[in-house]
Structure 1
Amino acid sequence: MRVTGDDMDGFEGEASSTSMVSGASSPYQPTTEPVMHGRGLRGIRCDLAYIRSLFGILKCIQVVLSLFAFISIETIMECSPCEGLYFFEFVSCSAFVVTGVLLLLFSLNLHTRIPHINWTMTDLGNTVISALFFFIASVILASLNHKSGAEISAAVFGFLATLSYMVNAVLALRKWKDGNRSQNIHQTSDYIRARSESRDVDCRPEIQRLDA
């Protein structure tokens, strides 16, 4: 059978039209939608559930008590000796800054954007260290003060902050233990499931014959 030039022209026209139709209906067409490279600070919202929780309330109390303790110690104009006052000033300022940053991260859910940090352990470490240093600084300030109103109020705020940090530390430790316990239970269930599946394969020789 001989194919003429007119037949070839018709065939090429049909092929081109077919390719255009298939190309138009193909799901793999390039898109012109912009690619989102990052969300930045979009989507930040205040987590009222955390603020109303026991951890959130304790964080707010700790920030307020640390601030009041720092303000009280800053109103003292004379001291002798001054080492205890300087140490209390450092502890109250550090606790206010660190706890305030953690409160901001947790209340705005910013900590979820940094998942490689164990925030439960971070909170536990901060509360334990703050409770210990606040207790030491408050005892030193109470033993070396000159019965002034500013020193007494600073020591009172220091002991109250110590109590709030101790309660937070106990709750954070319990939360950390519960998280480890649930993780161990999940790993154990996965191991038992894998062992049972392997035993099922061993008990079914037809599967072994198919594998062989």
Structure 2
Amino acid sequence: MSDPGFPGQHSTTTTVKSSTTAVDTTIRFDGSYIRTLPGMLKISQVSLNLLGFICIEAGGPWAYHSRGVWFNFVAMTGFWLTLILLALYLFHIIERFYKIPWLKFELGYCGLWAGLYIIAASLALSFTHVEAFIAAGFFGFCAMIAYALDAFLKYKAVQSGQLAQGERMVSKQTTAVNSPTY
């Protein structure tokens, strides 16, 4: 007598995932990176960092107030780190060291800098008796949006298993086996 809860026939499906990584590890200049969305975001981040810094410095002696010093720390550290990352991408150094999880590093960096900029821009905007701080606060909020958007794009890239530079091909092979009825 057969068990009514167990089907007379069942199938087994096996899925095999394989990925191949195609990277060129030669160091070379590639100006086309700045025409991509991540490249444009990095250019805008560098520009907004510099504009915010200049605005705070235009505040005269108020630039040495704790709010100005904090804003300048966030702006200049972001400026140099983002400029270094931009150079690493332009010269394909990121691709040369493709085994380093660059996207996760950048996700953390961009998320942290978006958070630091919301604090710095809020502090600058609350210092309303210096017009330069108001302008710096505007550029700070724009930089926060740029860093947050970059962090979101990096998050999506990490979730889909992409490389920071280079290509990863993922292929699936599915086989199904039907067992006979007993």
TM-score by length of 2: 0.71
> Aligned letter for 1:87?
W
- Over aligned residues, Cα RMSD in angstroms? 2.6
1:139 aligned partner: 122
Q: Deviations over 1:31-65 (max 9, x none)?
A: xxxxxxxxxxxx54322332111010011000000
The 5-angstrom pairing of residues 1-212 of structure 1 reads: 44-79=27-62, 82-146=65-129, 148-179=130-161
- Work out the CA distance in 2 between the residues paired with 1:48 and 1:83: 39
SS across alignment from 2:98: coil
> Aligned letter for 1:69?
G
Seen in structure 2, the aligned counterparts of structure 1 residues 63 and 87 have a Cα distance that, compared at 3 Å, is same
- Tell me: higher relative CO, structure 1 or 2? Use CA pairs within 8 A at least 6 residues apart: 2
Q: Which structure 1 segments of 5+ residues have no match?
A: 1-42, 200-212
Structure number with bigger Rg: 1
Residue 81 of structure 1 deviates from its aligned partner by 8.7
- Work out the CA distance in 1 between the residues paired with 2:63 and 2:80: 27
- Work out the CA distance in 1 between the residues paired with 2:160 and 2:94: 20
- Work out the CA distance in 2 between the residues paired with 1:74 and 1:130: 20
Q: Deviations over 1:100-126 (max 9, x none)?
A: 100110111011222332111111111
Q: Deviations over 1:123-175 (max 9, x none)?
A: 111111111101110001111231x3311211111011011111111111111
- Work out the CA distance in 1 between the residues paired with 2:62 and 2:103: 39
**Contact 2:127–2:133 (CA under 8 A) maintained in structure 1:** no
Judging by fraction of residues, say which structure has more helix. Answer: 1
> Aligned letter for 2:90?
S
SS across alignment from 2:75: helix
Percent same amino acid at aligned positions? 32
Judging by fraction of residues, say which structure has more strand. Answer: 2
SS across alignment from 1:102: helix
Ranges of 4+ aligned residues in structure 1 off by more than 4 Å: none
- Work out the CA distance in 1 between the residues paired with 2:157 and 2:146: 17
TM-score by length of 1: 0.62
Q: How many residues align?
A: 147
Q: Which structure 2 segments of 5+ residues have no match?
A: 1-25, 163-167, 178-182
